[in-house]
Chain A
Amino acid sequence: MIELRHITKVFNRGQVNEVTALQDINLSIAEGEFIVLIGSNGSGKTTLLNVMAGAILPSEGRILMKGEDVTQLPEHKRSRWVARVFQNPLGGTAPDLSILDNFRLAALRTRPKRLAIGINAAFKATVRDKIAGLGLGLENKLQQPIGSLSGGQRQALTLLMSVMDHTDLLLLDEPTAALDPKSAEVVMQTAERIIQEYRLTTVLITHNLQDAHRFGNRLIQMAGGKIARDLDAAAKTRLRVEEMYAWFG
């Protein structure tokens, strides 16, 4: 699905504050894999996610998306494959636009936005059904500005927006970090349901080791810009949470 070959990222090259965020990363993600990415602050996991999304272009190395070289493509062109949910609930939605408007744009992620009115009765009905599936009671508030909702509601909607159009790769960057425990649980359950239902290839960054243990079928630990551990589904199932805590000793 996505292949990273010898990816290195150096920030501020040649200056006193030079940082090597990623060091010769080789990673191949197969279709349907749900990778949980953990690591301490500064280990390079967010940079890795941003390199996949195209928000950061690598200093060296190549990125292949379904066999196509996308190394130089900026983020707005990688949206053909990639959907994102940000740590900040404000990041993934346009607050002043209505829920419906936000979903309309999400439905056009891989396509051009044309000079035609795209929100019709059929589209409204589709969105209402999808949102009703969340069980948050938001299906009757489609015209409300999305900014008037709580962070948890917005994250759950952002997750749903990511499957409004075809998605090859879903990137979740600490989607629950800004939420209270109850909202976080709702968002993670929504994520799991959507990922299973649409068989999405997913990369989730989290600092919550309980979540890292509970979700996903592959676990990668980053340290110092490198992949420190890479556990497949079987090894991940055998892993106990206490062992993971020990990694961060």
Chain B
Amino acid sequence: MIFYLTALILGLCLSAMGLGIFITMKIFRIPDITTDGSYTLGAVVTALLLTRGWPLPAIIVATMAAGAVAGILTGLVHTRLKIDALLAGILVMTGLYSVNLSLLGRSNVPLLDVTSVFTALSIFGEPVLNELWVGLLFLSVLASLLAFLLRTDFGLAMRATGNSESMTRALGINNDHMKIIGLAIANALTALAGFLVAQYQRFTDINMGIGIVLVGLGSVLIGDALIGWLGIRSIWLQLVFVMVGCILFQMVLAVTLSLGIDPALLKLITSLFVLAIVGIPRLLGRHAP
């Protein structure tokens, strides 16, 4: 039971990143892999400020701002210099590794004796239940805000930009600005996932972001498959299913590990799992639209 709860909570924490990747991949159709860097950046900022005793709301703002800056940088490189989004993301992500290491000062900072978001809002005696409720609360608020944003006139303009750039240009929308804002929001969300996971696992590690973009992509693809099968149009439900995808992904990984597979193989398994999610529908001849 605890075993599945752990995967569930981790999935919830990573859902923040899933929502971010949903924005770049599904709404803007930009392959953004700044994620690896901005996720760690979020965890690094969290560790630095938590150990300095900053209040949690301020840390949330700082974390999101840091992630947004990373996204804006990728966006500027992509739109202003007309560099492929994939390369722009790699450039920023690679640069962020040094930034993160310099900020953190060492490769690992434990967060054992601090008041984390999970202990600050405790209402149950059982820590696992507290973590679950905090995760649920946090992601519900986040998804609600995002769903609201995407339903506003501005959100419609965002969604149209990834859909038909000639249309949005003709309707007075600056596509480049939209993409930069989209990347900023996505990476702010990804940084928030770093904020949550660092506190959940009670440490920040400089390498915690390596390959995390793949986890996010796989999760969003699972969510997207469910959205497609069920024919979901409501943007709010789509966000819910992206989160379901994140949780399912963690569940599968947890089950795999529980079979006694060497944890060193975890990245390989993640890779193969995402490959299976992407590949199997194609082998079956059902191309995703």
- A96 to B235 alpha-carbon distance, docked (Å): 11
Interface residues of B in 154-183 (CB under 8 A from A): 154, 156-157, 159-160, 163-164, 166-175
Judge whether B164 and A115 touch: CB under 8 Å. Answer: no
Judge whether A79 and B156 touch: CB under 8 Å. Answer: no
Interface hit among A37-45, A97-105, A193-201:
A97-105
Q: Which of B149, B163, B164, B172 contacts A77 (CB 8 A)?
A: B172
Taking the closest CB of chain A, its distance from the CB of B162, in whole angstroms, is: 9
- Judge if A182 is at the interface, Cβ distance under 8 Å: no
- A93 to B160 alpha-carbon distance, docked (Å): 8
Judge whether A79 and B170 touch: CB under 8 Å. Answer: yes
Chain B 126-163 against A: per-residue CB contact (8 Å), 1 yes, 0 no? 00000000000000000000001101111011011001
Q: Choose among B149, B166, B168 the residue with the greatest number of A CB atoms under 10 Å from its CB.
A: B166
- A241 to B153 alpha-carbon distance, docked (Å): 47
- Judge if A83 is at the interface, Cβ distance under 8 Å: yes
The answer to whether residues A93 and B167 also contact, given A76-B175, A113-B173 and a CB cut-off of 8 A, is yes
- Judge if B106 is at the interface, Cβ distance under 8 Å: no
Closest to B148 in A: A117
- Judge if B286 is at the interface, Cβ distance under 8 Å: no
- Judge if B233 is at the interface, Cβ distance under 8 Å: yes
- A152 to B149 alpha-carbon distance, docked (Å): 32
Judge whether B157 and A55 touch: CB under 8 Å. Answer: no
Judge whether B172 and A91 touch: CB under 8 Å. Answer: no
Closest to B234 in A: A143
Closest to B176 in A: A76
**Total contacting residues, chain A, CB less than 8 A:** 38
Taking the closest CB of chain A, its distance from the CB of B57, in whole angstroms, is: 21
**Chain B residues, CB < 8 A from A83:** 170
Judge whether B169 and A117 touch: CB under 8 Å. Answer: no
Judge whether B152 and A105 touch: CB under 8 Å. Answer: no
Closest to B151 in A: A117
**Chain A residues, CB < 8 A from B175:** 76
- A95 to B159 alpha-carbon distance, docked (Å): 10
- Judge if A234 is at the interface, Cβ distance under 8 Å: no
**Chain B residues, CB < 8 A from A101:** 156, 159-160
Taking the closest CB of chain B, its distance from the CB of A240, in whole angstroms, is: 36
- Judge if A84 is at the interface, Cβ distance under 8 Å: yes
**Chain A residues, CB < 8 A from B172:** 76-77, 79-80, 108-111
**Chain B residues, CB < 8 A from A215:** none
Taking the closest CB of chain A, its distance from the CB of B167, in whole angstroms, is: 5
Closest to B177 in A: A76
Chain A 104-129 against B: per-residue CB contact (8 Å), 1 yes, 0 no? 11101111011111110000000000
Total A-B Cβ pairs within 8 A: 97
Judge whether A118 and B170 touch: CB under 8 Å. Answer: no
- Judge if A94 is at the interface, Cβ distance under 8 Å: yes
- A96 to B174 alpha-carbon distance, docked (Å): 19
Q: Choose among B151, B153, B154, B160 the residue with the greatest number of A CB atoms under 10 Å from its CB.
A: B153
**Chain B residues, CB < 8 A from A79:** 169-172
- A99 to B166 alpha-carbon distance, docked (Å): 17
Judge whether B171 and A109 touch: CB under 8 Å. Answer: yes
Taking the closest CB of chain B, its distance from the CB of A77, in whole angstroms, is: 7
- A81 to B150 alpha-carbon distance, docked (Å): 27
**Chain B residues, CB < 8 A from A175:** none
Q: Choose among B160, B168, B170 the residue with the greatest number of A CB atoms under 10 Å from its CB.
A: B170
- A119 to B159 alpha-carbon distance, docked (Å): 15
Judge whether B166 and A91 touch: CB under 8 Å. Answer: yes
**Chain B residues, CB < 8 A from A76:** 168-175
Interface residues of B in 12-67 (CB under 8 A from A): none
**Chain A residues, CB < 8 A from B152:** 113-118
Judge whether B166 and A143 touch: CB under 8 Å. Answer: no
- A202 to B257 alpha-carbon distance, docked (Å): 66
Judge whether B169 and A96 touch: CB under 8 Å. Answer: no
The answer to whether residues A75 and B157 also contact, given A91-B164, A97-B163 and a CB cut-off of 8 A, is no
Taking the closest CB of chain B, its distance from the CB of A16, in whole angstroms, is: 23
- A166 to B166 alpha-carbon distance, docked (Å): 19
Taking the closest CB of chain A, its distance from the CB of B154, in whole angstroms, is: 5
- Judge if A92 is at the interface, Cβ distance under 8 Å: yes
Judge whether A92 and B157 touch: CB under 8 Å. Answer: no
- Judge if A21 is at the interface, Cβ distance under 8 Å: no
- A86 to B167 alpha-carbon distance, docked (Å): 9
Query: Which 9 residue pairs across A and B have the least CB separation, nearest first?
Result: A79-B172, A94-B163, A94-B160, A113-B157, A113-B153, A118-B153, A91-B166, A84-B170, A94-B164
> What 14 new A-B contacts, CB under 8 Å, besides A97-B156, A109-B170, A109-B172?
A75-B170, A79-B170, A86-B166, A91-B164, A94-B160, A94-B168, A95-B164, A101-B156, A104-B153, A105-B160, A108-B171, A113-B173, A118-B152, A143-B233
